[in-house]
């Protein structure tokens, strides 16, 4: 695979734990995502035959270009896990050097590897030798914290060992997702390495894709939270801004239910698993706010305080309380044609009251 040609102008669906489940990747593919990445898989669990981990390698037939992301800190294990990923249809394999979650970093995985550029180099070298000519890519953050922003050292170590592309999430591990992404730093990596660079961080609207690419000079962009909030961002990347009104958004949720049932099944266990994902996704879908009346746009890192829903359905879809999410999921799973009345929707006041009691 020619990674420079594959990535030229691409808008990539990021690897996201839970968010990158196969039905959601299919939904994003239908909405224009040309490169999708599976949920992070742990190399050691794969080598131990852990069935749930192998499910993360599964590719949907309609995914045009599919990548597997692996997490591990042992070069030999990562090489063998890469072979498993390729045997199951991965077009390229990515190394996770950016996950900030404590459960990962305390085990020396994810962003913890940023403190060990030589270890990253050894991992990439072993993987490249194991799966060539299938490309190996690496996803990094800017460093462990603001005092150790070693992203240029890490990126060069990965490229010198054979990485075909670098994705740069423009934050340190310590920053998590709180600060705005540093796209100037992404641009520094573009200037420092000879392979394509993918920029990642804070993309929610299509004009931001062009602006961040122009600021950094990156070859492609990767979208994570933006794709969870509004999966049609991939269509916007080619067609421009689209205000998906409430009925259109509801249709997308119904489509996700259909895709989820095709994947998880329609028995009790499948419905239970799908419902868990639905409730989780509602926590992102409710964050959507359209373009402001004055033509300006909401931004990822600022909470929108002044959005007024335009109709009753939009009020429902915008509610961020668990009671509304549970109600909406039950309605979606029940279906419009099911017998019996819909459950009563808790009022916002009642939901807030329960939230206050829980916090007390």
Give whole-number Cα distances, 262 to 23, 54, 55, 206, 280, in Å.
8, 18, 15, 31, 19
Please report which residue ranges of the chain form alpha helices under DSSP H. 3-7, 22-30, 43-47, 51-55, 75-87, 102-105, 117-131, 151-160, 183-192, 206-216, 225-229, 233-239, 246-264, 268-285, 312-318, 322-334, 348-359
Tally of CB atoms within 10 A around 269: 10
Beta-carbon-side half-sphere exposure of residue 31 (alpha carbons within 13 Å): 30
Q: Which two tokens stand for residue 205?
A: 């609207």
Point out the residues that are catalytic. 99
Instruction: Check if the beta carbon of residue 28 is closer than 8 Å to that of residue 231.
Output: yes
Tally of CB atoms within 10 A around 190: 19
- Burial class of residue 336 (count of CB atoms within 10 Å of its CB; 0-12, 13-18, 19+): exposed
DSSP state of 93: E
3-state helix, strand, coil in the chain (%, to 5): 50, 10, 40
Instruction: Check if the beta carbon of residue 96 is closer than 8 Å to that of residue 70.
Output: yes
- Dmax over CA atoms of the chain, in Å, equals 63
Give whole-number Cα distances, 124 to 71, 267, 325, in Å.
12, 42, 42
Residues whose CB is less than 8 angstroms from the CB of residue 304 and which lie 6 or more positions away in sequence, other chains included: 289, 298
Using the structure block, give the residue that is written with the tokens 């359209």.
290
Instruction: Identify the CA nearest to 69 among candidates 47, 48, 96.
Output: 96
């Amino acid at each position: 695979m020619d990674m420079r040609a594959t990535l030229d102008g691409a808008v990539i669906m990021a690897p996201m734990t839970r968010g990158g489940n196969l039905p959601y990747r299919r939904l994003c593919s239908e909405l224009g995502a040309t490169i999708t990445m599976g949920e992070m898989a742990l190399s050691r669990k794969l080598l131990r035959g852990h069935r749930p981990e192998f499910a993360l390698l599964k590719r949907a037939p309609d995914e045009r270009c599919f990548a597997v992301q692996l997490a591990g800190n042992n070069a030999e294990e990562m090489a063998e896990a890469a072979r498993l990923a390729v045997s199951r249809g991965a077009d390229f394999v990515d190394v996770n050097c950016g996950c900030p979650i404590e459960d990962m970093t305390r085990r020396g995985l994810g962003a913890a590897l940023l403190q060990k550029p030589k270890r990253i180099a050894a991992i990439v070298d072993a993987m490249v030798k194991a799966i060539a000519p299938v490309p190996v890519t690496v996803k990094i953050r800017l460093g462990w914290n603001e005092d150790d922003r070693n992203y240029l050292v890490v990126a060069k170590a990965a490229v010198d060992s054979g990485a075909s592309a670098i994705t740069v999430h423009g934050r340190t591990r310590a920053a998590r997702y709180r600060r705005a992404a540093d796209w100037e730093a992404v641009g520094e990596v573009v200037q420092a390495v000879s392979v394509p660079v993918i920029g990642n961080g804070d993309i929610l609207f299509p004009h931001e894709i062009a602006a961040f690419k122009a600021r950094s000079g990156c070859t492609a962009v990767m979208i994570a939270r933006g794709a969870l909030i509004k999966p049609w961002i991939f269509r916007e990347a080619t067609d421009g801004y689209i205000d998906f009104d409430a009925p259109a958004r509801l249709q997308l949720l119904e489509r996700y239910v259909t895709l989820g049932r095709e994947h998880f099944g329609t028995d009790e266990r499948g419905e239970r698993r799908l419902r868990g994902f639905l409730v989780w996704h509602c926590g992102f879908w409710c964050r959507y706010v359209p373009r402001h009346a004055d033509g300006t746009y909401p931004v990822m890192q600022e909470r929108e305080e002044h959005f007024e829903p335009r109709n009753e359905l939009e009020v429902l879809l915008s509610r961020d309380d668990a009671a509304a999410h549970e109600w909406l999921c039950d309605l979606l799973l029940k279906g419009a044609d099911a017998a019996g009345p819909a459950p009563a929707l808790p009022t916002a006041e009642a939901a807030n009251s329960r939230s206050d009691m829980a916090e007390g």
